[in-house]
Amino acid sequence: MSKPRISYVPLEQMDDKMRAEMERCAREGTPRPESSAVRAHVKDCFWFFADSWHKVFRNGVLDHPIKELCRVYVSRSVICEFCGNQRSIKGAEAGLKETHYDDLINFEKSVKYNERQKAALAYAEAIVWRLDTDDAFWQRMHMHFNEPELVELGCAIGLTLGQQSWLRLLNIDHHQVMAGTNASMAPGTENAEALAKTKASPDYWAKKKAEPKKSAA
């Protein structure tokens, strides 16, 4: 097991409010405790992410499953294994199935997504890969989303893109902090042994590199 590049802050060094949030992470996931234990080195960073994520990702004006699909699209694009091996419990409760995560990189050609979901993923794609956009792209966005929804989705994608681009460098992994819970873990990653077996598989998703498009047109 690789050693994290930045250490986890022990629970006993956190105040009561931070420990309560860590317990929520262990109970509900997205995020799981490990990334929060790294952010805990700086209390303002811990709460900046926790509060923003609560307001913009878990709640907000836009239906949550769309934001969850975009979150994992980012994971599949930047290859953040820590984030990509999590599934939103709230998304599952709203109807997302594991099969919805299968074709995220090739979403435009997939029959697993409706047109609104495809438009959201195209938005995520343009942000992640810094694609040029044109009038047709924005006409598509405004056809499926109002402006508050576009703002919230853009902020959620930007926030998770920044965090995942950082977290992927840190060698953090699941079942290292507050181990013993499988909340929000993807199938085949529910405990350390299962996670190791999944990662050793030749079909493990992180072994497949995403290829950027040249434009969103």
The CA distance from 215 to 161, in Å, is 19
* Residue of 188, 193, 180 lying closest to 206 (CA atoms): 188
Give the residue-averaged pLDDT of 158-162: 98
Is the confidence at residue 21, as pLDDT, over 60? yes
The CA distance from 129 to 168, in Å, is 17
Per residue in 71-127, pLDDT (tens digit) is: 999 999 999 999 999 999 999 999 999 999 999 999 999 999 999 999 999 999 999
C-alpha dihedral sign at 60, 61, 63, 69 = negative
Give the residue-averaged pLDDT of 123-149: 98
Enter the pTM of the model. Answer: 0.94
Per residue in 37-47, pLDDT (tens digit) is: 999 999 999 99
Radius of gyration of the chain (CA): 17
- How far are the Cα atoms of 19, 92, 101, 148 from residue 86, in angstroms, in the given order? 21, 12, 11, 27
Domain at 14-207, CATH from 1.20.1290.10, 1.10.40.50, 3.40.50.12640, 3.40.449.10:
1.20.1290.10
* Chain mean position to CA 49: 13
What pLDDT does 212 receive? 67
The CA distance from 16 to 111, in Å, is 47
The CA distance from 1 to 176, in Å, is 10
CA atoms within 13 A on the CB side of 27: 6
Q: Which token pair is 18?
A: 């931070």
Confidence of residue 145 (pLDDT cuts 50, 70, 90): very high
33 in Cβ contact with 174 (< 8 Å): no
**What are the domain boundaries of the chain?**
14-207
Is the confidence at residue 217, as pLDDT, over 70? no
What pLDDT does 1 receive? 61
Confidence of residue 209 (pLDDT cuts 50, 70, 90): confident
Q: Which residues of 39-71 are buried (b: 16+ CB within 10 A; e: fewer)?
A: bbeeeeebeebbeebeebbbebebebbbbbbbb
